[in-house]
Chain A
């Protein structure tokens, strides 16, 4: 599976936008970019995914670089509930296993 690289941690302030970066320089043309997050003492939860075009949903936006070697998860107005570990994951669509390969993720701290 192609790997992703994220900062270990980031801090943001409540009600401000926050941009969470992810590098995936070895991404293949058939890999989807997925983001999950894990709140304290909970299982991971899905945030968003995309292939080539930028994506928006009620939780966040995903901006994908033109060469697809990096992406950014955008939380438009961070709240205290967004404090979590965020995982950027690549998923192969060409007959690969359905497993999610998590790295260590990036811990987001939201300051009141």
Chain B
């Protein structure tokens, strides 16, 4: 079946611009996660949605970062006033039950969006 898809696969923008990154989770998955990965590092958690609500946004680095999931399916990560330090691969993952599985749920990752801020 279809996995997690992310668009665009690559995004190049200029410092100060606004960007939106989209994630289409696996159909029926209630939980959705955003991570970002810098070169040579493991993925770093940003935000977790259970349904439409952000259950944990403790990883968002500052108020320039915002994410929504209005209908409990597709999610958009929004970055305002981009900075060169925002350059990274942004990964989205989804899982079937999230917190209902109490730490055992498998997360399925998309291929990521590579963001480059010039």
Report B-chain residues with C-beta under 8 Å of the C-beta of A45: 108-109
Measured in the bound complex, the distance between the Cα atoms of B102 and A100 in whole Å is 13
Tell me if A's interface is mostly helix, strand, loop or mixed: loop
Among B12-20, B65-73, B74-82, B91-99, the stretch that binds chain A is: B91-99
B43 touching A102, Cβ below 8 Å: yes
Report B-chain residues with C-beta under 8 Å of the C-beta of A43: 4, 91, 93, 109-112
Q: How large is the interface on B (under 10, 10 to 19, 20 to 34, 35 or more residues)?
A: 20 to 34
A44 touching B98, Cβ below 8 Å: no
A99 touching B91, Cβ below 8 Å: no
Report A-chain residues with C-beta under 8 Å of the C-beta of B108: 45-46
Report B-chain residues with C-beta under 8 Å of the C-beta of A92: 103
Residues of A within 8 A of B (CB): 30-32, 36, 41-46, 49, 85, 87, 91-93, 96-105
Residues of B within 8 A of A (CB): 4, 31, 33, 35, 40-45, 48, 50, 55-56, 58-59, 91, 93, 95, 98-99, 102-112
